Amino acid sequence: MSKRENIFGSFKYAAAGIGDAIKSEPNFRVHIIIGIVAIILASILQFRGVEWAVLFLTEAFVIAMELINTVLEEIVDIISPEKKEKARIAKDVSAAFVLMSAFAAIAVGIVLFLPKIFQFLSV
């Protein structure tokens, strides 16, 4: 993107990147689906402001990690199309970003959702 393009051009490129990730990355689609389910459940459980903020930040973190993982894997494939040990390590560590963020999201989900679910079921 050139510096002359307006802010809407930036959004167009970002949307195209998200579209590419949705089309090409099955794990990205899984994270999106889980995020949508979490939002629906949070609506049913009547999350409050801070809970919504934590939920959205957590979801954005996981999705951002998945996007970073995709970028790094693509770069490694361009730089090293043949199989090399260092390329494998780079890709595996990049995948570990996502795994660690997913574990953190699960922990946040437990803290946010379990008390609400117990309260919902006891009513």
What one-character-per-residue DSSP string does 75-115 give?
Answer: HHHHH--S--HHHHHHHHHHHHHHHHHHHHHHHHHHHHHHH
Sign of CA dihedral 47, 42, 30, 28: negative
Angle (deg, nearest 10), helices 26-44 and 7-24? 100
Is 66 a catalytic site residue? yes
Which of 5, 59, 66, 85 is catalytic? The answer is 66
Which of 66, 11, 10, 14 lies closest to 35 in space, CA to CA?
A: 66
Among all residues, which ones are annotated catalytic? Answer: 66
